[in-house]
Chains A and B, each alone.
Chain A
């Protein structure tokens, strides 16, 4: 392993002082002159036709600038991929859908105006389940989607055409060879919410003509621009972001919020702030995909999966917005976990329903499918009496294994990793060997308290997704001999510390103090293209583009230095903005003195999308179930991975611990969005009714992080955050099942579910 100045160590985050002093700016802390405020009237019905709407009183209210309903909607301003929904329509498609939007001098006036709008509805039949939506004769929700089936394929992510199924080999033959087969309808269908502390919001200023400036709580200015440009007719968007108060993949396109603000801004010719409340975030922003699959998994007598068959039904709620990309990743991740299987017949069907829209959430389709398939894989392991750790090690993707990724193309894992070793190390740290007593056998029983353990594995090859570019500029300081490095790369910080990580990498390449490296503010115009921090792509993609840009700048410095000293470039070294001739330290010159006066030295670097490096995460858990009350408590979690090379020791630890949050592990215990079955309205629309894990209920967490120096880019690292908790829920289900001796397969395993499994309720 190389000796590094910064890489691998903990370095104080660029934003650290601002965050602990309250100086850090988030969207809600920012104002634009002349800004007014937007609010929405939302549907109380899951599916209804607006038969009457009167905005006269609302418009009369002093301080109101605009009231817009479906009647005033201009052409365009439509949502979905493919387009299937107007921003506002005569029909409302879920409880929380937009009925009218208002802009006013203050939030309070806007809210009062909303209350003054008179509406009458005619209720329409509503659907709350993908299987029902896809069944013959179900009422059709959108004109665009016959049988409520969303078209497969999403052009940006699948350039060769639609990809929605994994079909190869001979499944019949595979099952014939299988020694153990599990077949069932399994589901992870409660569509929980990732629930960032900062709600979705945007401020939009129409600059005239096609130009809009957008400040948003998005984790990616470029993704927001990419998705919303076609949706705002004839627009040229400039997108800026601040610190983002949590996202977990969930605040990216922000289409509904951005379109509301933009339409109000264009109508009023005033900057409009449209910021959701927590209730609106929970009822109308995006939740996890609903996932249900009738599947069959076959395993041979050695414990290797040899056939997989199934039809995955995906519930995307009332909006399909690139869910196809998530389905592609879900199918891909299934192949990584069962990589030795050569017989696949895995189909998918995406349905629209009358529920809150589902969208991107950490785990990105993979978590939703894996939480289902892991239950069946567990049954085959149980039938064969295999130790799950041994089984995962045998089945996980290794170099040379092939899989179809979300772009619809075949990829071959090319990176020699030590994932099986990482799995074993994590199991050893956890104490698996002593605690594992066999399937359906508790680790220990003390009165009514039974303990059990479980483990699950997941992987992700999205960590090299999407093209990215960066500039690194060496700017001469006005005073002194030094310079300052400016990294131009479009990275919004929503908590991962990746802005600091690229600064570390650039400081490492140029061998300069980290304090002298600055990263430009996220802005889609001032920066070259970057998709931001999604899919755990930040480390490899931004890291590669920035480190190559720094290397390019360094090469230019050495070219100038070689000319200056009359030596070859290979004879030069640099440190702290000085160039030295090797073995001749009196021969030195500040970078500032090389090249034309006052001008920058600029390097360029880029990353081109690749899907041939999968990551891997094992999640091992011990639970304690009270068999009298059915209440389950997590005692301990061990997370294990091979990260290639740690960039920041504290940041990577928190990426792993973060897997407990954002609707991951606790979707096995208590997290779910609950709808009133009679009205179709969500009931969990505040932070009291939606359950979350408080500070005083955190279990012990241990991390096992191997560093096997992966051939990914200059710094040999991988990304991991996307999947750090993605296998958590299924691991908990296994642990509960072992603790109580009865299989529990219903998410979340609330006390009622556990007591039902024990036949006590």
Chain B
């Protein structure tokens, strides 16, 4: 049988993985979250609920925010993926404006859900640079946060979207 591969472009780099059930190969059952976290050691996005409800594992795939725990890696052939590690400038370390705003407004507490929230926000702001407060909140409605950083997250995002204080 011809050897199967799956190719992913992650944070601008191309990775070709062998598909199969032997050691080192990606089984059909492996999720994108597992591949990113365990094989590429991109551990920034978190796995919390494992069923697409909490948004902690959110990454951007071909421009859309997706929950990477709900996608099988073998189905992501050729996809262009950006993770939280891919936002800051790789050479200078300069932060993405969203990341900087999250620091300026202190928009996190424990930080477990933060990478997912930033990626979901990034996907929205890339498509719509000036969303309303309602559009922002709607875009984040799938992101669980239990420390309650919602208010300070909205402050940071409103500042980027150019919304006046609500």
Are B84 and A22 interface neighbours, CB within 8 A? yes
Residue-wise, chain B 137-166 has the 8 Å CB interface mask toward A (1 for contact) of 110111111111111111000000000000
| Chain B residues, CB < 8 A from A199 | 48
Q: List which B30-87 residues lie within 8 A (CB) of chain A.
A: 37, 42-51, 53-54, 56, 83-85, 87
User: Contact mask A669-689 → B, CB, 8 Å, 1/0?
Assistant: 000000000000000001110
In the bound complex, residues from chain B placing their C-beta under 8 Å from that of A17 are 95, 103
- Inter-chain contact B148/A658, CB cutoff 8 Å: yes
Contact B150 A494 (CB under 8 A): no
| B150→A24 contact, CB < 8 A | no
Pairs A-B, 6 closest by C-beta atoms: A22-B44, A245-B112, A495-B109, A495-B110, A22-B84, A19-B111
Cβ contacts A to B, 23 pairs, < 8 Å: A20-B99, A21-B95, A21-B99, A22-B42, A22-B83, A26-B43, A26-B112, A29-B37, A108-B29, A197-B48, A243-B110, A277-B50, A278-B48, A495-B147, A650-B105, A650-B106, A654-B106, A654-B109, A658-B109, A660-B148, A694-B142, A695-B140, A695-B141
Residues in B neighbouring A277, C-beta threshold 8 A: 50
Are A686 and B106 within 8 A (Cβ)?
no
Closest to B38 in A: A31
Interface size on A (CB < 8 Å)?
56
Chain A residues, Cβ within 8 Å of B50: 277-278
B interface with A by C-beta (< 8 Å): 29, 37, 42-51, 53-54, 56, 83-85, 87-88, 95, 99-100, 102-103, 105-106, 108-115, 118, 134, 137-138, 140-154
Over the window 645-675 of chain A, the binary record of Cβ atoms lying under 8 Å from chain B Cβ atoms (1 yes, 0 no) is: 0000011011001111110000000000000
Contact with B along A686-700 (1 / 0, CB 8 A): 111000101110100
CB distance from B153 to the nearest CB of A (A): 8
Residue of A nearest to B56 (CB): A197
Are B146 and A197 closer than 8 Å at their CB atoms?
yes
Residues of B with C-beta under 8 A to A26: 43, 46, 112
A10 x B112 contact (CB < 8 A):
no
Q: How far is the CA of A650 from the CA of B152 in the complex (A)?
A: 9
Which one of A494, A658, A694 has the greatest number of beta carbons of chain B within 10 Å?
A: A694
A701 near B88: Cβ-Cβ < 8 Å: no
Instruction: Identify whether the interface residues of B are mostly helix, strand, loop, or mixed.
Output: loop
Verify A197–B112 contact, CB threshold 8 A: yes
Decide if A195 touches B140 in the complex (CB within 8 Å).
no
Report the separation of the CA atoms of residues A243 and B109 in the bound assembly, to the nearest whole angstrom: 11
Tell me, in angstroms, the Cα distance from A424 to B154 when the chains sit together. 29
Q: How far is the CB of B121 from chain A (nearest CB, A)?
A: 10
| Cβ–Cβ contact B84 & A21, under 8 A | yes
Complex formed: what's the CA distance from A245 to B137 in Å? 22
Chain A: minimal CB distance from B4 (Å) = 19
Q: Which B residue sits closest to A16, measured CB to CB?
A: B103
Known: A20-B108, A692-B144. A29 touches B99 (CB 8 A): no
Nearest chain-B residue to A657 (Cβ)?
B148
Q: A20-B102, A22-B83, A22-B85 are in contact. List 15 more A-B contacts (CB 8 A).
A: A16-B103, A17-B103, A20-B84, A21-B87, A197-B46, A197-B144, A245-B46, A277-B50, A278-B49, A651-B106, A653-B151, A688-B53, A692-B146, A694-B141, A694-B142
Which of A22, A25, A497, A660 makes the CB contact (< 8 A) with B115? A22
User: What's the least CB distance linking A210 to chain B, in Å?
Assistant: 32
The closest CB in chain A to the CB of B139 belongs to A695
The smallest C-beta distance from A426 to any residue of chain B, in angstroms, reads 17
Residues of chain A within 8 A of B144, CB atoms compared: 197, 687, 692, 694
Which chain A residues lie closer than 8 Å to B83 at the CB level? 22
In the complex, whether A198 has a CB less than 8 A from a CB of chain B is yes
Q: Which chain B residue shows the least CB distance to A12?
A: B103
Min C-beta distance of B1 to chain A, whole Å: 22
Assess whether A13 is in contact with B140, with CB atoms less than 8 Å apart. no
Say yes or no: is A177 at the interface (Cβ < 8 Å to chain B): no
Q: Map CB proximity to B onto A1-34 as digits: 1 under 8 Å, 0 otherwise.
A: 0000000001011011111111111101100000
Tell me the complex Cα distance, A198–B145, Å: 11
- Flag A497-526 by CB within 8 Å of B: 1 or 0 each: 100000000000000000000000000000
Given A657-B151, A686-B49, A695-B140, also A662-B146 (CB < 8 A): yes
Q: Does A365 contact B (CB under 8 A)?
A: no
Best-buried of A13, A108, A696 by chain B (most CB within 10 Å): A696
Are A661 and B141 CB-contacts (below 8 A) given A22-B43, A197-B113, A686-B49?
no
Closest residue of A by beta carbon distance from B30: A108
Which residues of chain B are near A686, meaning CB under 8 Å?
49, 51, 53
The interface residues of chain B lying within 8 Å CB-to-CB of A245 are 46, 48, 110-113
A196 in contact (CB, < 8 A): yes
Interface centre among B43, B102, B149 (most CB of A within 10 A): B43
Contacts A20-B108, A22-B45, A695-B141 known; A654 to B102 CB distance under 8 Å?
no
Q: Which residue of B lies closest to A245 (CB)?
A: B112
Q: Is A246 an interface residue (CB 8 A)?
A: yes
Quick check: B146 and A248 within 8 Å, CB to CB?
yes
State how many angstroms separate the Cβ of A698 from the closest Cβ of chain B.
5
B104 to chain A, nearest CB (A): 8
Please tell me if A459 contacts chain B, counting CB pairs below 8 Å: no
- Residues of chain B within 8 A of A658, CB atoms compared: 109, 147-148
Minimal Cβ-Cβ distance residue in A for B27:
A108
Check if B140 sits within 8 Å of A687, measured CB to CB.
Answer: no
Tell me which of B51, B102, B147 has the highest count of chain A C-beta atoms within 10 A of its own C-beta.
B147
Evaluate contact between A19 and B108: CB separation under 8 angstroms: yes
Chain A residue contacts of B47, Cβ below 8 A: 28
A196 to chain B: which residues have CB within 8 Å?
A: 110, 112, 146
| Chain B min CB distance to A336 (Å) | 24
**Chain B's nearest CB lies how many Å from the CB of A277?**
6
Which of chain B's residues has its CB closest to A659's CB?
B148
* A244 CB within 8 Å of chain B: yes
B106 CB to closest chain A CB (Å) equals 4
**Within 8 Å CB of B44, what residues of A?**
21-23
Report which of A13, A16, A198, A651 forms a contact with B112, defined as CB distance below 8 A.
A198
> Least Cβ distance of A693 to chain B in Å?
8
B55 to chain A, nearest CB (A): 9
- A199 vs B54: C-alpha distance in the bound complex, in angstroms? 13
- In Å, the complex CA distance between A695 and B53 comes to 13
Nearest B residue to A24, CB-CB? B111
**Which of B53, B85, B88, B112 is the one whose CB lies under 8 Å from A246?**
B112
Closest residue of B by beta carbon distance from A195: B146
Contact status B149-A654, CB under 8 Å: yes
